[in-house]
A and B are shown apart, each in its own frame.
Chain A
Amino acid sequence: MAQLVLFDAFNGLVVGAFYALMALGLSLILNLSGVINFAHGGFLAVAAYLAYTLIPRLGFWGGLVVAPLLTAGLGLLVERFLIRRLYGRDPLYSLLLTFGLAYVFEDGTRVLWGAQALPYPVPPSLSTPVSATLFFLTGYRVFMVLLVAAAVTALFLVLARTRLGIRIRAGTQDLETVSVLGINVRVLRNLNFGLGVYLAGLAGVLAAGMLGLEPTIGSSLIMPSFVAIIVGGLGSLPGTLLGGLLIGVASGVTTVFFPSATEAVIYVMMAAVLLVRPHGLLGDAARIR
């Protein structure tokens, strides 16, 4: 029993790491530009499928590096030519636009790669269990958690130390002042969108190795990411990270005791958090208005 709980808790942690990675990208875009990127799951799926196509040519590691970068490039284009036109208008419009894009991406991957699930090749060095007693710790899962941890650390370092990161954080506080100080806000928003999409792409390539590859992979992961942001707190990236891990572990543990509530439990958590702290666990109360 204890092993089963441990197994599902660890599983939840892995899934939570995806949610967190994806939600961090969403959060970046939301905080700086006020856009709910509904197409985030679509970008994730595009990256996963690109990796699938690239792996035979570049190998597993090549796909892991190149696919998210290509997807981020697609994100830069989408921001430049579509989303940029909608800044300053009712957030309804950017939400609808990205919603439409989510449809296009999901259907596009279905047309290009087919509707059936595809096997995603993972190198054998990563697919063996680490030990016999802890059978659930396959190398791939451990590797994923480590990689997500590394990516998140890198993200926080970029935001804390680099010029781009400092500008993004400043823009999140007060975009107008940042603009007055002579920083090109258009470029900043563009790069920030690309960064957010890159994180979605990375999550997609990793998720494909664990969940398999289907056109609906994006839309099944995006809702928990919204919940992660709400639970963790609006406007707070550490909050988003915490929210993602929390809901992942919670739904993992629920699988043991009440399997049919695996999905629903995270919404119950969200309701509880909203009841006690409308701005989320680590959120900024001023941001919900």
Chain B
Amino acid sequence: MSRLERHAPAFVASALLVTMPWWLQAAGGYTELASRIVILGLAAMGLNFLLGFTGVLSFGHAAYFGLGGYGVAMTLRYLVPSSAVAILVGVLAGTVAAAIIGALIVKLRGVYFAMVTIAFGQVFYFVAFRWNRVTGGDDGLTGWARLPVGVGPLTLDLRGSDLAFYYFVLALLGLSAAAMGLLLRSPFGRTLLAIRENERRARFLGIPVERHIWLSFVVSALFASLAGALFALLNNFIDPRALRWDQSGNFVIMAVLGGMRSFWGPLVGAGVFVLLQDLISTRTQSWMSFVGAFFVLVVLFFPRGVLGFVRRRPAS
């Protein structure tokens, strides 16, 4: 495979992403929708670091996503008027929580790992739901807004311009994708793949499997909480639904829909999912039924996802 061929997907992806506000607008969308796709795509890519590249099924990533969001909202509301500091706090909150929970569950595997992650995901939901005074409870946390961010001598007017916010989010996606790509290509990432393919063999080779899974879990949650932080900034709002189990399921379906085994797949899946949800929820009250049926159809007929499907064809 030539160099050009190897990097082609990244080029195509960046070209499409950089121009998204225009072609999405032409197709009847709006800039905020583009930002939402990129943000949820980042969360799904973060999840897929664990799901697709380590082979561990977490069904509770909304917890870290939501913690990132609440970190941002509470910092801006109560502590410091700075978007950058708020993002940092959000990411830290989600990552630390993942480090603690991850340490409790690395010994579990397969369905049991999934079940425990589902259950743990709910803790933060109930905390956000019940702790009215601080989190705003079921109504969510309002009364704050994202603020401009200084990058060197420049100031990005995140507040006034949706387009500036989109490119801010896109830049963070680019950095995150680069970081994940580098990690996956490093010896650490190769080890994760080895664990995915054959855990027992990896163990026999002397690889500390638990430690690697724990690290992968934390890295994955780090990107999920970054996405959650950006999600809160996008909406200038956060509520407990960002933490709930259905949000976790949405991330998993995005990863599967796009293609779990491909690096950019979850981003594609997020795009399809967000556009579909936008389309359905404006037309019918019972969008839940449609989304649910969509899950069933994807699992039955499209389990390799969009990119898995595209890739398989030339081979056959």
Contacts and interface: CB of A to CB of B under 8 A. Distances in A.
B293 A274 contact: no
B123 A264 contact: yes
A34 B115 CA distance: 11
A132 interface: no
Contact of A85 (B115, B127, B294, B300): B300
B119 A103 contact: no
Contact of A86 (B104, B293, B299): B299
A108 interface: yes
Contact of B122 (A90, A92, A230, A267): A267
* Chain B facing A: main interface SS: helix
A91 to B, nearest CB: 5
A100 B131 contact: no
A260 interface: yes
A264 B122 CA distance: 8
A114 B131 CA distance: 30
B59 interface: yes
Nearest to B296: A100
Contacts of B123: 264, 267
Contact of A278 (B101, B108, B119): B108
Contacts of A95: 57, 59, 111, 114, 252
A288 B115 CA distance: 11
Interface stretch (A5-13, A55-63, A180-188, A221-229): A221-229
Nearest to A270: B119
A152 interface: no
B119 A227 contact: yes
B256 interface: yes
Given A96-B256, A97-B299, A288-B107, A264 B127 contact: yes
A79 interface: no
Contacts of B253: 96
B209 to A, nearest CB: 11
A30 B115 CA distance: 11
A1 interface: no
B112 A264 contact: no
Main secondary structure of the interface of A (DSSP, over half): helix
A104 B293 contact: yes
Nearest to A110: B286
Nearest to A231: B119
A93 to B, nearest CB: 5
B296 to A, nearest CB: 4
Interface in A240-271: 260-261, 263-264, 267, 270-271
Task: Indicate the size class of the contact surface on chain B.
Answer: 35 or more
A230 B119 contact: yes
Contacts of A2: none
A104 B111 contact: no
B105 interface: yes
Contact of B288 (A97, A106, A270): A106
Contacts of B112: 230, 234, 287-288
B115 A102 contact: no
Contacts of A102: 292
A92 B122 CA distance: 19
B303 interface: yes
Given A264-B130, A288-B107, A103 B300 contact: no
Contact of B57 (A91, A99, A288): A91
Nearest to A97: B299
A36 B245 CA distance: 14
Contacts of B249: 96, 99
Contacts of A96: 249, 252-253, 256, 295, 298-299
Interface in A1-56: 30, 34-36
A105 to B, nearest CB: 8
A95 B289 CA distance: 17
Contacts of A227: 119
Contacts of B245: 219, 223
A214 B171 CA distance: 44
A288 B107 CA distance: 8
A287 B60 CA distance: 21
A142 B122 CA distance: 30
A100 B293 contact: yes
A104 B292 CA distance: 5
A250 to B, nearest CB: 14
A104 B287 CA distance: 9
Interface in B287-316: 288-289, 291-296, 298-300, 303
Smallest CB-CB A-B distances: 7 pairs: A100-B295, A103-B292, A107-B288, A104-B292, A263-B126, A100-B292, A107-B289
Interface of B: 51, 57, 59, 101, 104-105, 107-112, 114-116, 118-120, 122-123, 126-127, 129-131, 245-246, 249, 252-253, 256, 286, 288-289, 291-296, 298-300, 303
10 contacts: A92-B114, A92-B252, A100-B294, A110-B286, A226-B118, A263-B122, A267-B123, A271-B101, A274-B104, A289-B110
Given A36-B114, A97-B300, A102-B292, 16 more contacts: A34-B110, A82-B300, A86-B299, A91-B114, A100-B293, A103-B288, A107-B288, A263-B126, A263-B129, A264-B123, A264-B130, A267-B119, A270-B119, A271-B120, A274-B105, A278-B108
